[in-house]
Chains A and B, each alone.
Chain A
């Protein structure tokens, strides 16, 4: 719990006149699980989009693994080792489970054929089954296309995709927002497995119970700024405190000057 894996300084994003994210200083240590909470429009997803290269920040710096990074697109972030489950899931509806898990990084044969190199369906299928079993994700038929799956199954595929490649940082943007009880439990188990494996995680969530169950630390966003940094394992923090920070009834001492 010493190496800093991700650090942002003064991270700012403006959409025209809208200040969606303002001077966000954030630190994540290796192996640490951090939850990002906040009201709708507080800047949680904006923050995630700047880190993962989906959008380009207005100003500020991002250090990943000790080096300053400048991801031009999500694929660069992914190549550097940041795996993300986006709210939109980013799955291709007409493809099946192995196709989606390996999309953009297919296992291939006959590589001298360039773009026409051959897909190794057998290897991808075997690896998919192994990855799903490792993450304990239940999907009846992996040959089924995504469009024929329930919301929970889709979510599981998206999460299994991030979990099936060794990543240095996993980010999940509201992974259980649309899930039933059992499916939520499945996703939470995946997160616990990541914790046991010592892989760091940023979890964007509205679910107070889930956050208190799973993570080490809560960072609260409010109106584009970070307004609290709560070590829930060490300090005595209650759900009411967190709600206070989210709604603006309370503000962390170190953020008094900046937060509104």
Chain B
């Protein structure tokens, strides 16, 4: 291996002057936001010197306010799983708007295969199918859900790759179709009472475990595998990817299938956690997932972003939501503030990018 302080051909460069990973900026932003809420807790007159981060109650001897941290991470983990898939789609140069309604549709379908026969000794009042569908092994609803996700993702990907319609339109159509499926499945009635084994998938802190586990695996996939490299290449320069021999069409189908299967998995966890499925589940999830990715530095023009960034973006998202509640901001102001923050994140990122290009 060549001397690292010199490039090929003997050109000198300072390897210490390498630019810092962009994820670091998001991490710093996360800390600053936490500190800002901490300060607001001290400054705002109606807050009675509450602490955002630390435990101030005398009864407990923990340092941090674990309950709040737990709620933050639990809140973001289910949408975060969707964001892991949306990240890949955006890096490949596309967009997926169908993930929210897909959560609703998948939850309805999955729950109908996960129902238990007897509720407190009485027959299940919400039964969708006949007796054969009661108390199935937990693997069956999971497989049905993932297969449905894969199916929807394959249609999304095939539409975009073969007909070359813009991803925005293809997934917007799928957005409506999926919401329709969710409502048509039981004519709008909720589906409830899952088996105990199904309920254990999303019990307690399980969604967080799934989120961290999947993030870890997908970080490896995006960074160290051919699939990940080709996803970046397709989003960075589709023609170059094609000329390099990458089957761009097949790859896009794979990326959209991956994203929809992750959304379907999020639906499985969500319905398991809630012990019920409703056709209105997952409203705004697709936008929140995109927001998490964008806050995390994923570029909507494709080719740039990372799983770590999205995980940090999800944390920022969760902290802001929790912080707004903590400073007792009304819900409708919360939406407005959230929108402002998403726009600022993209503007800041763009300014940073422009400055980076100008430096050269």
Q: Are A116 and B226 in contact (CB under 8 A)?
A: yes
B residues in contact with A115, CB < 8 Å? 225-227, 230, 254
| A93 to B302 Cα, complex, angstroms | 11
Query: Would you give the shortest CB distance from A171 to chain B, in whole angstroms?
Result: 13
Instruction: Please tell me if B162 contacts chain A, counting CB pairs below 8 Å.
Output: no
Residue A133 contacts which of B8, B227, B245, B356 (CB distance < 8 angstroms)? B8
- B residues 194-237 in Cβ contact with A at 8 Å: 221, 224-227, 229-230, 232-233, 235-237
Instruction: Please tell me if A88 contacts chain B, counting CB pairs below 8 Å.
Output: yes
B residues in contact with A137, CB < 8 Å? 8-9
Query: Would you give the shortest CB distance from A41 to chain B, in whole angstroms?
Result: 22
| A176 to B10 Cα, complex, angstroms | 22
Instruction: Please tell me if A86 contacts chain B, counting CB pairs below 8 Å.
Output: yes
| A151 to B302 Cα, complex, angstroms | 22
Q: Are A93 and B236 in contact (CB under 8 A)?
A: yes
B residues in contact with A90, CB < 8 Å? 237, 239-240, 243-244
Q: Are A118 and B241 in contact (CB under 8 A)?
A: no
Instruction: Please tell me if B336 contacts chain A, counting CB pairs below 8 Å.
Output: no
Query: Would you give the shortest CB distance from A130 to chain B, in whole angstroms?
Result: 9
Instruction: Please tell me if B20 contacts chain A, counting CB pairs below 8 Å.
Output: no
Q: Are B232 and A95 in contact (CB under 8 A)?
A: yes
Say yes or no: A75-B243 contact (C-beta < 8 A), given A93-B236, A95-B233.
Answer: yes
Q: Are A132 and B9 in contact (CB under 8 A)?
A: yes
Say yes or no: A92-B2 contact (C-beta < 8 A), given A119-B225, A140-B7, A141-B13.
Answer: no
Q: Are A116 and B243 in contact (CB under 8 A)?
A: no
Query: Would you give the shortest CB distance from A236 to chain B, in whole angstroms?
Result: 38
Say yes or no: A138-B9 contact (C-beta < 8 A), given A115-B227, A118-B224, A119-B226.
Answer: yes
Contact with B along A122-142 (1 / 0, CB 8 A): 000110010011001111111
Q: Are B224 and A119 in contact (CB under 8 A)?
A: yes
Instruction: Please tell me if A225 contacts chain B, counting CB pairs below 8 Å.
Output: no
Residue A140 contacts which of B1, B12, B241 (CB distance < 8 angstroms)? B12
Instruction: Please tell me if B57 contacts chain A, counting CB pairs below 8 Å.
Output: no
Residue of B nearest to A121 (CB): B224
Residue of B nearest to A97 (CB): B8
Contact with B along A61-99 (1 / 0, CB 8 A): 000000000000111001100000010111111110001
Query: Would you give the shortest CB distance from B87 to chain A, in whole angstroms?
Result: 14
Residue A92 contacts which of B9, B13, B15, B240 (CB distance < 8 angstroms)? B240
Residue B229 contacts which of A99, A136, A141 (CB distance < 8 angstroms)? A99
Residue B225 contacts which of A86, A94, A103, A117 (CB distance < 8 angstroms)? A117
Instruction: Please tell me if A55 contacts chain B, counting CB pairs below 8 Å.
Output: no
Of the listed residues B227, B240, B246, the one surrounded by the most CB atoms of chain A closer than 10 A to its CB is B240
Q: Are A104 and B244 in contact (CB under 8 A)?
A: yes
Q: Are B243 and A86 in contact (CB under 8 A)?
A: yes
Instruction: Please tell me if A18 contacts chain B, counting CB pairs below 8 Å.
Output: no
Instruction: Please tell me if B360 contacts chain A, counting CB pairs below 8 Å.
Output: yes
Instruction: Please tell me if B120 contacts chain A, counting CB pairs below 8 Å.
Output: no
Instruction: Please tell me if B163 contacts chain A, counting CB pairs below 8 Å.
Output: no
Instruction: Please tell me if A147 contacts chain B, counting CB pairs below 8 Å.
Output: yes
Instruction: Please tell me if A209 contacts chain B, counting CB pairs below 8 Å.
Output: no
| A126 to B4 Cα, complex, angstroms | 12
- A residues 192-241 in Cβ contact with B at 8 Å: none
Interface size class of A (residues with CB under 8 A): 35 or more
Instruction: Please tell me if A2 contacts chain B, counting CB pairs below 8 Å.
Output: no
Query: Would you give the shortest CB distance from A180 to chain B, in whole angstroms?
Result: 15
Q: Are B304 and A94 in contact (CB under 8 A)?
A: yes
Q: Are B7 and A106 in contact (CB under 8 A)?
A: no
Instruction: Please tell me if B352 contacts chain A, counting CB pairs below 8 Å.
Output: no
| A225 to B7 Cα, complex, angstroms | 45
Q: Are B245 and A78 in contact (CB under 8 A)?
A: yes
A residues in contact with B236, CB < 8 Å? 92-95
Query: Would you give the shortest CB distance from A152 to chain B, in whole angstroms?
Result: 12
| A86 to B241 Cα, complex, angstroms | 13
Q: Are B225 and A139 in contact (CB under 8 A)?
A: no
Residue of B nearest to A134 (CB): B8
B residues in contact with A119, CB < 8 Å? 224-226, 229
Instruction: Please tell me if B11 contacts chain A, counting CB pairs below 8 Å.
Output: yes
Q: Are B246 and A147 in contact (CB under 8 A)?
A: no
Q: Are A116 and B233 in contact (CB under 8 A)?
A: no
Instruction: Please tell me if B48 contacts chain A, counting CB pairs below 8 Å.
Output: no
B residues in contact with A118, CB < 8 Å? 224-225
B residues in contact with A126, CB < 8 Å? 1
- B residues 173-205 in Cβ contact with A at 8 Å: none
- B residues 8-33 in Cβ contact with A at 8 Å: 8-13, 15, 18
Residue of B nearest to A88 (CB): B239
Offer 16 A-B interface pairs, CB within 8 angstroms, sorted by A. A88-B239, A90-B244, A95-B232, A99-B233, A103-B229, A103-B240, A105-B244, A105-B245, A106-B229, A115-B225, A118-B225, A129-B1, A133-B9, A140-B7, A143-B18, A150-B360
Q: Which residues of B contact A (CB under 8 A)?
A: 1-2, 7-13, 15, 18, 221, 224-227, 229-230, 232-233, 235-237, 239-246, 254, 303-304, 356-357, 360
Smallest CB-CB A-B distances: 10 pairs: A138-B9, A104-B244, A75-B245, A104-B245, A94-B303, A132-B8, A92-B236, A140-B13, A140-B7, A90-B240
